[in-house]
Structure 1
Amino acid sequence: MNDSERTKNWYGQVAANYSSDQRKNWYGDVAEAYNKVRPRYPQTLIDRAIAVAQLPPGATILELGCGPGIATVPFARSGFSMVCLEPSQVYQPLTKVYQSQAPSLVAEREDRATQERILQGLTQDIADSGLFRTAVCEHLPCKMTYSIDDYLMLLNTFSPYKMLDPSERDSVFTSLREVLERLGEGVQVCYLSAFHIAEKI
């Protein structure tokens, strides 16, 4: 099974096992953690997305699934009006923090090559949908060092961990903490920060 098929299979399992209300509120129980430890987008990536999308100054951006405003803030600081929709009620109080920046604010370990293939697969899926003229994806490699507490909090925001039974998840985190504490005080995470832009037909 290739990466794109594995990703589609995972989404299919989630769709089959969780109601639309459960999916809408998927990250709701970890909203504070998500806001605290999820990495922010590098300004270089934000600038590149603006250039590729050919957004004129002051354009209005519709952001679907804005969560706590991780992408909202850098776009708003770049002078864009933001119309942000968030289906999860839990995030709505968090998003109010960003109103000064955006007044209209309403599994397996993957290496870099795998992440790049997944991003390319998503780009191809967008192009193959027949709903868009063009689909562009760009990414930027990033690194971040977390304290052990923040790293475990970060993991708690990822779907594979959220899908675990709570007692199983606690056991995994306890074991991870023991190993990480023996190895040092921090955990370096490497990831790709990416954007997709598609022109609607």
Structure 2
Amino acid sequence: MKNLEQFKNIYNNYQNDCSLEQRKNWYSKVADAYNRTRPRYPQELVDRTIELAKLSENAKILEIGCGPGTATTEFAKFGFSMVCLEPSEESCNLATQNCANFPDVEIINTTFEEWVQTDEFDCVLAATSFHWVSPDIGYPKLKKVLKDNGSLILLWNKEPQPSYEVYQILDEVYQRQVPSLSRYEERGTQEKILRELGNNVIKSGFFKDLVYEQMECDRVYSIDDYLSLLSTLSPYIKLDYRQNALFDDLRNTLHQHLGNTIETSYLSAFQIAWKN
């Protein structure tokens, strides 16, 4: 449960300590790395969300925090009309490029909090992004933008991590460089974290009938891409001059013990709830 409390504190601190303007640009400097290295959402999970949410081919979807369009393209393939909000200009540009073949997708450079509603939607989608929205503003506004019986789809990818055996090797590096970043999450802990995020939706009082499903996924990274992935994670974004020393040490250690690639696994999941 310690890691669950750490996770909750991390995002509570970012929401409380960072202004809306700071949150807008949180991923701006790592937008390219985010686009290249963050894991995609399994097609099987995307198909299940569409099935369970009963989205028709004419459904209108609002996406909150689309980033470079990681999940957007997976839904756009079905022909849905989508309005996608993204506060980072750099990520917006990437999303526009990635969605160039989908004329029914509109990318808007703004936050959900600042966005001016112009229509009602059948579904609101947020892919590993809704924890950045202020709940005091987010939940009431969600209810306002959704049609009656509209659904909220939350997609989540936990951070890809190596096996525990590899983690133990890397832990020596973290203890030398930045001990606070040494963290390994058991699969059960990751599930508890994700379920807690879904429970918050029901606790808000604005949604009902929560559905949760998950699956385990694997991805092999080159060592450089794995370090690029780490650079997109919030605790690493907050690092100062220590990041270069940490990454150099990690790179040397990984090459020494693993060669040129590293195997990782992660938990991918979704929650669906319906407007109360």
Q: If the TM-score is normalised by the length of the shorter chain, which range does it land in?
A: over 0.9
Q: Which amino acid aligns with 1:103?
A: D
Q: Is the 8 A contact 1:82 1:102 kept in 2?
A: no
Give 1:109 deviation, angstroms.
1.8
Matched, 1:100 2:101: yes
Instruction: Give the match for residue 32 of structure 1.
Output: 32
Match of 2:206 among 112, 131, 134: 131
Which digits, 9 at most, give the CA deviation of each residue in 1:31-88, with x for residues without a partner? 0000011111111010011112111123111110001000000111122221111111
Instruction: Give the match for residue 22 of structure 1.
Output: 22
Looking at structure 2, the residues matched to 156 and 29 of structure 1 have their Cα atoms a distance apart, in angstroms, of: 10
Looking at structure 2, the residues matched to 102 and 61 of structure 1 have their Cα atoms a distance apart, in angstroms, of: 14
Looking at structure 2, the residues matched to 171 and 3 of structure 1 have their Cα atoms a distance apart, in angstroms, of: 25
Q: Is the 8 A contact 2:61 2:82 kept in 1?
A: yes
Looking at structure 1, the residues matched to 234 and 192 of structure 2 have their Cα atoms a distance apart, in angstroms, of: 20
Give 1:103 deviation, angstroms.
3.3
Q: Is the 8 A contact 1:60 1:81 kept in 2?
A: yes
SS in 1 for 2:232: coil
Instruction: Give the match for residue 44 of structure 1.
Output: 44
Across the aligned residues of Structure 1 and Structure 2, the Cα RMSD in angstroms comes to 1.6
Looking at structure 2, the residues matched to 94 and 60 of structure 1 have their Cα atoms a distance apart, in angstroms, of: 22
Instruction: Give the match for residue 162 of structure 2.
Output: none
Which digits, 9 at most, give the CA deviation of each residue in 1:122-158, with x for residues without a partner? 1111111111122222211100000011100000001
* Runs of 4+ more than 6 Å apart: none
Give 1:3 deviation, angstroms.
4.9
Equivalenced residue count is 200
Instruction: Give the match for residue 121 of structure 1.
Output: 196
Gaps of 5+ in 1: none
Gaps of 5+ in 2: 108-180
TM norm structure 2: 0.69
Looking at structure 2, the residues matched to 2 and 136 of structure 1 have their Cα atoms a distance apart, in angstroms, of: 26
Q: Which amino acid aligns with 1:56?
A: S
SS in 2 for 1:197: strand
Distance 1:102 1:27, change over 3 A: farther
Looking at structure 1, the residues matched to 70 and 199 of structure 2 have their Cα atoms a distance apart, in angstroms, of: 26
Q: Is the 8 A contact 1:95 1:105 kept in 2?
A: no
Matched, 1:181 2:181: no
SS in 1 for 2:89: coil
TM norm structure 1: 0.93
